[in-house]
Amino acid sequence: MENKKLGFVIISFSIVASVIAFGFMNVLGRQTSALQCYPTSECQRVESLIGLSHISVGLISFIAALGIYLLFFSTSEEAILKRLEEEKQMKIDEDKFELVLKALDENEKKVLKAVKEQNGITQSTLRFRTDLSKAKISQILTDFERKHLVKREERGKTYAVYLAETF
């Protein structure tokens, strides 16, 4: 059963139980007044029932709180599964990226990591981040474009570099 439906059922049950418990407490209160309770065995029975009714009110309150929690605060199974699926996809993408890095030389690794850290990085910023020459950056990026690892978009006098959709 879905958490919200279960929350509604539990809250409904606790409301009905509360009405019954408070009705019972009201009857006990009238008996106490009618008996003008002095320390007799009849009064002790009524007093113990009043104590028991207080415990039942506490239990009903707990059940109502559980229902409210399930209704408003508990995440549903679909949300949990969606989050797990997203985490799984992120892990797969990270593994793909690490696998591609293993096939690259050191300069290419620097460039690809910098692009991943800042998607849309300009070639001039990339040059400063990797400490490589303009020609080397351009050569590496052209090679990456041919392999469909990155894509470049013109931005003023330079290019913005993005990771390809394969990651």
pLDDT tens track of the chain, all 167 residues? Answer: 577 788 888 888 888 888 888 888 888 778 777 777 666 677 777 777 777 888 888 888 898 888 888 777 766 677 788 899 999 999 998 898 899 889 999 999 999 999 999 989 998 899 999 999 999 999 999 999 999 999 999 888 888 999 987 66
Asked whether the CA dihedral 51, 56, 58, 59 is positive or negative, the reply is positive
DSSP helix, strand, coil percent of the chain (3-state; round to 5): 75, 10, 15
- If one counts every other C-beta atom within 10 angstroms of the C-beta of residue 10, the result is 19
Given the structure tokens 């303009």, which residue do they identify?
Answer: 134
Per-residue confidence (pLDDT) for residue 165, from 0 to 100: 78
Tell me what pLDDT residue 156 has.
83
pLDDT for the residue numbered 132? 92
For residue 153, list its beta bridge partners. Answer: 160
Q: Cα separations (Å) of 24 from 53, 57, 73, 108? A: 8, 11, 32, 79
> What is the model's pLDDT at position 37?
65
